[in-house]
Chain A
Amino acid sequence: MSKEVFNQISPSEFFYRNRDLAGFSNPTRSLYTAVREFVENGLDACDQQGILPDIHLRIEAVDPEKPDPKPYVLTVKDNGPGMDSKQIPLAFGTVLYGSKFGLKQARGMFGLGATMAILYGQITTNKPVTVSSSVDGKAMHEYTMMLDIQKNKPVIMKHKQTDTTKKGLNVSITLDGDYSKAGSKIRDYVYQTSLITPYATITFDDPKGEKFQYKRIVDTMPPAPTIIRPHPHGVDVETIRRMIADTHYQVPVLDNAMIEKVKKELGLSKKNLNFEGIMARAEKKWSSLSRPVRVIVAVMSFLNMDFERIMKIRLEDIDLIHKRLSYYDFGDAKLVTLEMPKSNPYYKQLANTVQGDSLITFLTKRFQRIGQATAIKFAEFANLKAEKRIGSFTNEELVQLSDSLQKYEDFLTPDPSCLAPLGEEPLKKGMQQFFKPDFLEVYQRSASAYSGFPFVIEMGIAYGGGIPAGKMTVYRFANRIPLLYDEGSDVVLKVVNETDWNRYKVKNESPVVIVSHICSTRIPYKTVGKENVADREEIEKELRLALQYLSRKLAAYMSKRGLAEIEKKRANLYLKYLPLIAQFSTELAGKNKEPDYKKVIKDLNNVQVEEQ
């Protein structure tokens, strides 16, 4: 390695320098992004614990008289599980701390945004962040702190504990913002978030003193997603490398703690045995031994050493290719290398442990939905030995493995259990409440996948009623986040715009609302701003199918509606002419009283009802 000095920068500093990447480019955008990050964190926290969310967002100007942009205090309070007091400084005072690294659907990816918002607030107003949390609904911990950007460390300015009656987290930051420009987007965001989260109550107190409250519409939460193993189509070489490092066992360090562990597992904590005794005991207890202990026992067997001896050496290398084992002997102060005869009963055990799982085991254990048979077929396809230990793969073989995982077409589609679509019923209820339409239909496609990432499309279409005519409105959501910016290049709008609406009896100015929700473990956003979804072929197809299904339903309704309108016209005609006919026939027939022609019209109404 070269001796040249690299100036390492902390993640905080990196984000500080590149803050526009994360959506903190100007006061307008930053205020909006900060709102999003905190609200979404709150919703995610509740979702994961199955708590019906109650989110309270408040934005106040520090000095209302000042013109925008100016400092605002942004406070978001949730009723989630709260955060352990000890974790708060790390979670809110360092960048890249998060609990969302697993593979499942969530709004934010790494919990990074909240810290970014705190960072942005700090650099624009030099004010600390205040976080208070209660995990038990009794004690509340309140931290006031700032970030040390260069060191990526929190600087706690105040920590106090008070009594409370409610669980949850409350975060408050001061940041430069421009509410006069960001206001409408923030209100849209709150409105649309409530639409796609009908099981939440969201309250927003805006800086002008207006209160927006969207009450909970449904009391059931969609089932929480489960964390699952990756799909073979969704991994690259680097991911495989990490997975292998994770599976195969490093050469153990023979320190006191390790020796104690071995002794304990062999039941020899208080008793010493000679080499033969240890080996006999190990053979007897083998099945109950942990992997590191097995390695140590195997090494002892090769070296013919007891505990006393082995404590005086340091293992250097276990070279399976040359069947050599080398160690440094502290007593003799020299490096010793010796052969590892394959005949030794522990050879296989050692080799297996060091080299990790066989390819087949690796595939079946570490990936989702791969069984024994598939793994064997895949190994043939990839031209790799099924039993070959994953730890012994050469670089070329790893690339070959990675490429083949991408190319092999007979894997099952990704497991959608890691997805948490809203569900047809809550979506329908939400749309009903929001739009009060004359016609409403929702549809959830079954799960599909693109590049190894499962996704589900949910869509709803509403017509008439409380929806104003003029222009078709499309609400786009991804993982329960509204997408408000950059709609021009979005795949959903592409599909909507490419639909021949005339075919479905819908005109350009018809009062139509479309709600589209894409759920995936990874939404293929076009930009870092996460506002538009790229037109992946598979996603486009699913969107198209969902929209076609709904459009057909709408067309059927429109035909019926057309009929109903004719019926209405008809009823009006009757109302106009029947009284005249009654009047004329009365005089013609020489009667004094007009006939009760209203019965005819009443019957007519009944007929209409039946038809509908």
Chain B
Amino acid sequence: MSKSKNNKAAKVATEKRDALLDLLKNQGAQIYNDLDKGKFPQFSVPSRSVSNIVYDKKLRQYILGNAASLRSARNMSQLRSFTQLMWLAFFANRLVHEKKSSTLRDVYYSSQAFEVEFEDQPESDNIIVDLEAVLARPREDFHIFPEERSSIFGDLTIEYTVPGYEGKRMRLSDHPDGYLIGPSLSSAELVDTSAELVIAIEKGGLFTRFIEEKVDKKFKAIIVDTAGQAPRATRYLLKRLHEQMKLPVVILTDGDVYGEHIAMVIKSGSANAAHLRELTVPDAKWLGVWASDIDKFKLPTIPMTESDIKRIYDLQKDPRYQEGIWKTELEIFLKIKRKAELEAFSKYGLTNITDKYLPHKLELAKSL
């Protein structure tokens, strides 16, 4: 455990926080000055419309194009959302200053203390995405978290930065149920690990099975439960594990089109978050379950639904699905029109997946 590494990480975190606070202050000052000059304040918000979402091959993720819309307090139809956005920036500023965290739902209710109305939570969620786009920072940076929580387990030591826990360390293999990836864990410094690999797995049930089967030890792995589509905090953590701890990331999902896309989002982001750039692990690898595995491992299957098939057609238009396994697996799914869940391996015994499938796939991954 090197102290210098720790200090450096803490420094990075502090710098990042200060940069965000500066950004908020600058935005606030700009609006303040406009008002003081008797001008209607305005700022530009990068456009998040479909036409402005482009795939950047170099970054290997979706990013926003150059289109931006001007939001002005003069425009009556924008006045309300302008005020909401201002409030959110103000609220985020307080959260970051006071090192407090909030959830999407919490934000919706907090607004009411300031006479800023949101029709419903989707409206406030949308404003949060706007603020992300304006600041080009994920909401987790300004301490706003979704309700959904995913978990982590493995030999990883972290150091908390949240008030009251500053400096306190924790080994993430001490509790057999794993640890929630919440605000305090997301903001903690990554101190040390003996692991050589990160396995992200789509399902909580399999996550528990992997812990029971000591996959962490057998494969020197940190196990992450994405609980379906990986939340941003989880993706951010995966990125840090990959970049700061130099750990390769592999992904295990159900054998269907949604599973394939869960892996893709961890690897290269989602169109929904095209305005954010620090959430992807471009080197992450999808281990399975592939469509081709269904036949290969004689897995029990269930038929695809209409919406499964439609989703395949949709993804076939996505530039990221134009090559490699991404392309071929999609084609096979479309051909067999059947899917298999991770639990399907249980047909051949509860440990079949960890004993047989996983080693096989990890071996295969080296050549991917």
Tell me the A residues contacting B by CB distance below 8 Å: 570, 573-574, 577-578, 580-591, 595-597, 599-600, 602-603
Contact = CB atoms under 8 A, between A and B. Distances in A.
A596 B31 CA distance: 12
Given A577-B82, A577-B83, A600-B40, A584 B28 contact: yes
Contacts of A600: 35, 38-40
Interface stretch (B48-56, B84-92, B151-159, B314-322): B84-92
A595 to B, nearest CB: 4
A588 B87 contact: no
Contacts of B24: 588
| Residue among A586, A587, A599 with most chain B CB within 10 A | A587
Contact of B86 (A570, A585, A591, A599): A585
A602 B31 CA distance: 18
B35 A581 contact: yes
A51 to B, nearest CB: 59
Contact of A581 (B31, B37, B93, B94): B31
Interface residues of B, number: 30
Given A577-B82, A577-B83, A580-B114, A585 B76 contact: no
Interface string B185-212: 0000000000000000000000000000
10 contacts: A574-B73, A581-B82, A584-B90, A585-B31, A585-B90, A587-B28, A587-B94, A588-B32, A588-B89, A595-B35
Interface string B54-84: 0000000000000000000100100110110
A580 B41 CA distance: 13
Contacts of A573: 76, 79-80
Nearest to A566: B76
A561 B55 CA distance: 50
Contacts of B87: 580, 584
B304 interface: no
Contacts of A584: 28, 83, 86-87, 89-90
A588 B29 contact: yes
Interface of B: 24-25, 27-29, 31-33, 35-41, 73, 76, 79-80, 82-83, 86-87, 89-90, 93-94, 114-116
Contacts of B82: 577, 581
Contacts of B76: 570, 573
Contact of B35 (A570, A585, A587, A602): A585
B247 to A, nearest CB: 38
Contacts of B115: 580
A599 B33 CA distance: 12
B89 A581 contact: no
Given A573-B76, A586-B28, A590-B25, 12 more contacts: A577-B80, A581-B31, A582-B35, A584-B83, A584-B90, A585-B29, A585-B31, A585-B41, A585-B86, A588-B27, A595-B35, A600-B40
Contact of A596 (B38, B89, B93): B38
B39 A588 contact: no
Given A573-B76, A600-B38, A603-B38, A588 B83 contact: no
